[in-house]
Amino acid sequence: MALKDWSDDLKSNGVPFIYCAPPGPKSRDNILEAKKYVTSYWAGQGKSGNGWDLPLTVKRVANSLIEDVDGNVYIDLNSGISTANFGYNNPFIWSRAQKIMEEYGILGIFPSNDYNLPLMTAASKKILSTVPNGHRYRVHYACDGTEANEAALKTAISYTGRSCVVSFMGSFLGRTMGSLSCMAQKSRDADTFRSLRSSNIYFAEGANCPNCLFCDSPDSCNGYCIEKFLKDRVLTFQVSPEEVAAFIMEPYITGGLMNPAPQEFLKCAREICDQYGIVLIFDEVQSGMGRSGRMWVHEHHGIEPDIFTSAKSLGGGISPLSAAFIKEEIMEEVPAYHGSTYGGAPISLAGNMAAMEYMDQNKLLERVNKLGKIIENRFLEWTDYSNVWQTRGWGLLKAVDFREDKNKPLVDYKNKIQGELFKKGVITMSGGQGRYLSMLRIIPSFTIPLDQLSIGLDIFEEIISKN
């Protein structure tokens, strides 16, 4: 059965449809007005003159299409940074979520963590049924990814009675102070906040294979990032392993690299944690919930974390929801714990349950792999273009990296390509780490129609072939 699309109202002129060169006059006026009222305008001023990745003023959305206030309609290959895995305004999920809330007798918001809610138990049963050995985990709910990571870190510190954390460079972990303290992806992420960051964080080299300091390519991996840097430097020169409460990392580095960690890397981290009683935390905030082609990234390699986190599309696009999945034996011994007022609100839990049903009914994991293979086949044709250094990624976590060679990222070129895609009606998001800010992400919704994906990729190829 073909997956139903619900974006007909935005497709009457064909897509993409550019009525006037973006940003149009109404968009520009809206941006100037926003400057007077909202803080997001001011974030990241040095990059593009305003705080948004693209000067897009949204009027309405449906599935994988966005219409701006000037009447332009764009194909979105970004899916709201993975917050819209199931498409924007999915009517099936909205309708089912409403019915679920009615079934459980609570609509909207309720202090879910102060009382026992059968809805929370039901949602937790369902989501844990998708986790390998899910019966061994318990679920803490919050509202976004950084909150889930804060809960994970505080739980590990409370459980072990230790005060230090080893974080693996390259991961994006969030912008609240605990998560930010653990993050080393771009130095500007911590600009002006350094005095507030914890001094008990130590940094090891992450699975940054395309940018590896020790190897020319993943094929020539010699394991130095673990054997030499982590074991022989971080855990001997900087901090003893007996002081470390947790290792925290993205097992699939998303916005910074779009690269999965090798199995041996995760296996070694797991072994060190087992040897010294360290809690292993995986951040699957963007990579989880099916986007890698499996429900959870750690399924690919069979490496079980002690805690892992998820967010983005966990609430089904209905309401913000994040979670920290914590091993039972840890929860039984935690003397102090984390809380969240709105974490696990009925509207969010109902959105999650509706989304899980929608995934099963429409076999979306199969579709993720099918669409991912389509993108990979197109990528094979792009490697001949001189400025395309690498294409990479699993499932619908893909990226195109523009460089002359490994050590010469083409940041300005990437910005140019992103701008030209926008003018042609295709939305992508940039990414990268350190000075390697040369990547465009291709992370469409699971529900994007095949013709729209093909058109978006055609336009992408047309632009890079001419530049």
Query: Which of 17-21, 89-93, 145-149, 338-342 is the least confident region?
Result: 338-342
Q: What pLDDT is stored for residue 46 in this prediction?
A: 46
The answer on 257 and 377 residing in a single domain is no
Cβ atoms 119, 349 nearer than 8 A: yes
**Of 287, 297, 294, nearest to 265 (Cα)?**
297
Q: CA distances (Å), 193 to each of 39, 86, 144, 196, in order?
A: 17, 35, 21, 5
The strand ranges marked E within 311-435 are 322-327, 388-394, 397-402, 426-427, 429-433
For residue 272, what are the domain limits?
A: 110-345
Q: What pLDDT is stored for residue 48 in this prediction?
A: 47
pLDDT per residue as tens digits for the range 248-261: 999 999 988 999 99
The answer on 375 and 339 residing in a single domain is no
Q: What pLDDT is stored for residue 467 in this prediction?
A: 83
The answer on 278 and 374 residing in a single domain is no
Q: Is 153 exposed, middle or buried (0-12, 13-18, 19+ CB in 10 A)?
A: buried
pLDDT per residue as tens digits for the range 220-266: 676 788 888 999 999 999 999 999 999 999 999 998 899 999 999 99
Is the residue at 83 inside a domain? Answer: no
- b/e for 218-250, b at 16 or more Cβ within 10 A? eeebebebbeebbbeebbeeebebebbbbbbbb
Q: What pLDDT is stored for residue 256 in this prediction?
A: 87
Amino acid of residue 88: Y
pLDDT at 45 over 60: no
Quote the pTM value.
0.95
pLDDT per residue as tens digits for the range 63-84: 999 999 999 999 999 999 999 9
Structure tokens at 302: 């069979």
pLDDT at 42 over 80: no
Amino acid of residue 69: V
Between CA 393 and CA 407 the distance in angstroms is 20
Q: Residue 252 maps to which CATH number?
A: 3.40.640.10
Structure tokens at 303: 């490496």
DSSP state string for 35-53: HTT-GGGTTTHHHHSSSSS
The answer on 312 and 272 residing in a single domain is yes
Q: What pLDDT is stored for residue 299 in this prediction?
A: 97
Between CA 156 and CA 135 the distance in angstroms is 20
The answer on 337 and 460 residing in a single domain is no
The answer on 256 and 118 residing in a single domain is yes
The answer on 282 and 138 residing in a single domain is yes
Between CA 124 and CA 147 the distance in angstroms is 18
Over residues 210-218, mean pLDDT: 80
Residue 105 gets the label, from left (phi > 0), alpha (psi -120 to 50) or beta, of left
162: Cα separation from own chain's centroid: 29
**Of 339, 290, 352, 273, nearest to 131 (Cα)?**
290
The answer on 267 and 304 residing in a single domain is yes
Confidence of residue 334 (pLDDT cuts 50, 70, 90): confident
Confidence of residue 132 (pLDDT cuts 50, 70, 90): very high
Q: Residue 12 maps to which CATH number?
A: 3.90.1150.10
The answer on 289 and 156 residing in a single domain is yes
pLDDT per residue as tens digits for the range 358-412: 999 999 999 999 999 999 999 999 989 999 999 999 999 999 999 999 999 999 9
Is the residue at 82 inside a domain? Answer: no
Is the residue at 103 inside a domain? Answer: no
The answer on 338 and 199 residing in a single domain is yes
Between CA 86 and CA 147 the distance in angstroms is 23
The answer on 440 and 294 residing in a single domain is no
The answer on 388 and 251 residing in a single domain is no
Structure tokens at 336: 């102090």
Q: Which residue has the higher pLDDT, 49 or 230?
A: 230
Confidence of residue 47 (pLDDT cuts 50, 70, 90): very low
Is the residue at 90 inside a domain? Answer: no
pLDDT at 288 over 50: yes
Please give the mean pLDDT across all residues of the chain. Answer: 92
Strand pairing category for 436-442 and 397-402: antiparallel
Is the residue at 358 inside a domain? Answer: no
Q: Count of domains in the chain?
A: 2
Q: What pLDDT is stored for residue 198 in this prediction?
A: 80
